[in-house]
Structure formats: C-alpha cells, structure tokens
C-alpha cells in the first residue's frame, strides 16, 4: 500500500469510497457537490491536507513507501482529510475519511491515521506559540465508525480517547493532545 496526496480529479473516487463506507457504517452519504464545497473552503488546501491510500503491490516497487513509480500505482482504497478548526477554547485538527469496506482490516486505516497524525503534529508547531499565549490546548481528533470493532483499538494505538460529544450519525469522535 502507498499513501499519496490528493490530485485534481480524485473527487469521484473519494465519493465512491465514502458512499460505500456510509452504507456499512450507517452514515450519511456525500455527493460530488458536497466534496467540492468542502474542498473549496478558503482555509483548506486539499493538495496538502487530503491523503489517499492505494492497494499497490509492494513487490513492484521495492524502494519503500517514499513514493510511487510512474505506472505502478494501484486502486485507491481509502482516504483521510485533515482540517484545523478553532473553537472558543481549543485548536482542533480533525481527521475524517473512509476505507472501502472490503479493504478494511489490512492496515489501510491505521496507515492513513498515522499519516494524518504526523501531518497534524508538524502543523501544530506553527500554531503552538499562539495557543500557549491563549492558554488553548491543541487536539488531534478523528471520526471513526461507531460500529467498527477495530475503531477502539485503532484509536488506542494512537493514544486517542473516546470523546463523548455529539457527532455525525454513525460515527464516534476520538481525541488526544498534540
């Protein structure tokens, strides 16, 4: 499997993945228009904040996870979106995405979550002085399917705890400090 950044033209693929996952996870499906609206927010840059994972055959490219060779990229099987949001009392790096149901349990979700967490850590350095001055915590948060038996252990591996707050239907919010 390989992780790559979002490219123009990926929205139909993301819609397909999200809609397939929404059926299994009892969530609301998103349309292409929903993704286009989401990705057009002025404070958001999909080229830097959206990551996709493909089912590449690692034996075709033994040079590691640093990139893909031209023509060796496989099918996209999952994605994650990382957005920084500011509430009245904290900074929140919210990670949300999906993995195709038939591809779950192979480590794609964990790889995407770790990618987003590492990206959030780097971005947190930029806002840390301002957050400290304000006395505001910086959180990493992830929305995971509420009925997925692997969600709790995946969150625990990243030192995230369940946050008993209302969220999207079918999802559960997990949070940790950055």
Delimit the domains of the chain by residue range. Answer: 2-177
Nearest Cα neighbor of 2 from 73, 86, 59 is: 73
Tally of CA atoms within 13 A in the half-sphere of 11 that contains its CB: 14
- SS3 sequence, 9-26? CCHHHHHHHHHHHHHHHC
Domain 2-177 bears CATH identifier 3.40.630.30? yes
| pTM score of the predicted model | 0.88
Structure tokens at 129: 């002085």
Query: Would you write out the chain's pLDDT as a tens digit for each of its 178 residues?
Result: 889 999 999 999 999 999 999 999 999 999 999 999 999 998 889 999 999 999 876 555 444 445 544 555 689 999 999 999 999 999 999 999 999 999 998 899 999 999 999 999 999 999 999 999 999 999 999 999 998 888 999 999 999 999 988 888 899 999 999 9
135: left (phi over 0), alpha (psi -120 to 50) or beta: left
Strand locations in 88-152 (E): 91-99, 138-145
Rounded to 5 degrees, φ, ψ at 170 are 85, -5
Cα 161 off chain centre by: 17
């Amino acid at each position: 499997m390989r992780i790559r950044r979002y490219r123009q033209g990926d929205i139909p693929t993301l819609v397909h993945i999200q809609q397939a996952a929404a059926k299994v996870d009892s969530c609301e499906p998103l349309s292409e228009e929903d993704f286009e609206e989401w990705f057009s927010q002025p404070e958001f840059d999909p080229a830097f904040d959206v990551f996709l994972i493909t089912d590449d055959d690692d034996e075709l490219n033994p040079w590691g996870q640093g990139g893909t060779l031209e023509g060796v990229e496989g099918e996209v099987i999952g994605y994650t979106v990382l957005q920084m949001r500011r509430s009245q009392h904290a900074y929140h790096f919210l990670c949300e995405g999906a993995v195709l149901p038939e591809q779950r349990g192979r480590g794609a979700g964990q790889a995407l979550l770790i990618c987003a967490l590492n990206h959030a850590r780097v971005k947190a350095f930029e806002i840390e002085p301002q957050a400290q001055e304000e006395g505001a915590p910086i959180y990493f948060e992830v929305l995971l399917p509420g009925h997925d038996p692997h969600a709790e252990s995946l969150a625990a591996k990243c030192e995230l705890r369940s946050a008993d707050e209302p969220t999207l239907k079918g999802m559960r919010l997990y949070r940790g400090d950055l």
